[in-house]
Amino acid sequence: MNRVVQVTNVQKLYRLGRVDVRALRDVTLDIEHGGFVALAGPSGSGKTTLLNLIGCVDKPSAGRIVLDGVDVTGVPLHKLASTRREMLGYVFQTFNLIPVLTAYENVEYPLLMNGVGRRQRAAAVRHWLHAVGLDTVARHRPDQLSGGQRQRVAIARAMAGEPQLILADEPTANLDSDTGAQILDLMQRLNEETRRTFVFATHDPAVMARATRVVHLRDGQIVQADEAAFERELVAAGA
């Protein structure tokens, strides 16, 4: 198998006062290159914790994580900055754009951090702004853009460094249903055209319906849930 993510027997514990809270329990998961994968579950299920571990922004308490053949388990977080920049792209619920920068500059920023030359940077930024349909607003700041446009900038920024893996944490949660559907259309098209791997943490049935694979989590464990029952549980939980 051509695996971009290998998670083996991963656990994550948080210390709250004198109590250990187990956010993940012996999670094992492989994700193949080119997938469009949803980590699904209600609030507190562990999906965002798992996404953060895969994204090298947190460390497991036990177990092993391998990204595109590189074992990142024992590497300190501060030494994983280059891995995050070169291998991973991020799309967040709240967009996480730099407010004083234009759309063009927000997409360009991670390329600057990676030391990409000026001409190559300019070509990449123009290409990805065009790919997400934002050529005409390249010089607009985030406060001059709609929520859907801001998420498109975030997607262009995530794609610009040509990462193997795009991690998206509830990317439709702050959007209305029509705009959310357009964002999913865009991400699905980019997945199909580029064969980059997309992994979502989500409770949105619309995201799950688009996914080529849905990994259900409950109480920090992967479960084999009935799809209809799982969707009813999400609605009942108000996730």
Q: Which fold has domain 3-237?
A: Rossmann fold (3.40.50)
Residue 171: which of 145, 151, 147 has the closest Cα? Answer: 151
Domain limits of the chain?
3-237
Provide the edge-to-edge strand list for the sheet that holds 213-218.
Answer: 88-92, 165-169, 197-202, 36-40, 213-218, 221-223
CA distance 42 to 137: 36
CA distance 142 to 27: 38
CA distance 198 to 211: 9
pLDDT tens digits in sequence order for the chain, 239 residues long: 589 999 999 999 998 888 888 999 999 999 999 999 999 999 899 999 999 999 999 999 999 999 999 999 989 988 898 888 889 999 999 999 999 999 999 999 999 988 999 999 999 999 999 999 999 999 999 999 999 999 999 999 999 999 999 999 999 999 999 999 999 999 999 999 999 999 999 999 999 999 999 999 999 999 975 454 445 555 554 54
